[in-house]
A and B are shown apart, each in its own frame.
Chain A
């Protein structure tokens, strides 16, 4: 039996095509992936992301605990700000990628839907010796993402006068506000490579909230567009670019690992990996030959040896041609290097290019 978010009926009523994702029944598209993708790049799109996990980390040593389990410097996150981070295994492999939001008296941690149970177990396994409490908010709160250049103007219309000042909320800022009269935690974070916000509020208001945003002009968008939108700025998706057997340096996420902040789970292994240099690297590529590379397609070097695999690939809607990301040996990861992608049994030439393919348009 697949899980459903509080907005399931809304998606079905809007004509969404529903698919299974990580144990959830989610909308993959409404009007069409390209239509929705373009709407976010040019105007504003609305995503139901209530399937993601939401945890509150509280207690006298909440910060120390998070500092111990995450690779980012949690002590450097000011109140009212958020940071991208990684949870790593002792061997440096990635348990999950997370966002940590510093709120008054506690931290909100958002995790991937597919890793809800895994992260819950993993975090609890590391609380020993810390005065910390972890409380689940995944069921009590719904979560929406409003992404695109017009997201701010919609939220300003939704905001109660005097409730806050969303126009001055900085990139990665998080603040409590009231939208449509509902208490809402608003974060200037997202996964689309555009300005946008993620909204957290009591799930009981989910349908009402959704309707009011749509009324103001937000276009419902599904997981198909969510994937194509994150792909163009080369954002990682767990299970594709990152996983238990991939370390941050291979994934070009070394910037998320603050080795100098003090000890944390995986630090020793990560320091060694950084010092030695990773043997393979996530590499963006374009097609030289005719074909579309997709996730899991094999990558061969020009001698015909299997050397890696595509993590994500598709015809990029905004950039306008088939692109992809793949793990290849570090020697083949420099811009201009050529390798072959095996597409339906035949090698098709590809060439490494700079990432990101699309420059994120975050609020400055």
Chain B
């Protein structure tokens, strides 16, 4: 099964994506991640103002069958949280890179080791069967 891996994004090995928008970074979970989990029925996201270090758990998304911790691919301050998701978690499944965005961060500069689209696609292919 092939998954969508937009070329302009960067990806963590825990399946989060990062998009640069001016001074801020937008973060969500990849198409591969939402497909593995199934329909998202529950999520916990951080509060605006929370400070994250790379690798920190910043929340959880859950389907009927599984929970998945969310790990910060970068360090920084949470400046926005996607409030629309509270009433429509399915956006994460249907549009993981668009309406399914999770948080916006003002970066501190610290980052996890992130993959480009090509490397992430290979990483997913190695895991999927």
Measured CB to CB, the residues of A under 8 A from B are 28-29, 32-35, 37, 224, 227-228, 290-292, 294, 314-315, 317, 322, 344
Contact = CB atoms under 8 A, between A and B. Distances in A.
Interface stretch (B16-24, B38-46, B98-106): B38-46
Given A224-B64, A224-B65, A344-B69, A315 B38 contact: no
B60 interface: yes
A358 to B, nearest CB: 14
A33 B69 contact: no
A32 B44 contact: no
Contact of B62 (A227, A228, A315): A315
A28 B44 CA distance: 26
B67 interface: yes
Contacts of A292: 42, 62, 67
B24 to A, nearest CB: 27
Nearest to A35: B39
B63 A33 contact: yes
A33 B64 contact: yes
Contact of A317 (B41, B62, B69): B41
Nearest to A19: B65
Contacts of A228: 64
Nearest to A228: B64
A319 to B, nearest CB: 12
28 contacts: A28-B65, A32-B38, A32-B39, A33-B63, A34-B38, A34-B39, A34-B41, A34-B64, A37-B64, A224-B38, A224-B65, A227-B65, A290-B44, A291-B44, A292-B42, A292-B62, A294-B67, A314-B64, A314-B65, A315-B41, A315-B42, A315-B62, A315-B63, A315-B64, A317-B41, A322-B42, A344-B57, A344-B60
Contact of B38 (A33, A227, A322, A344): A33
A317 B42 CA distance: 11
Interface in B47-81: 57, 60, 62-65, 67, 69
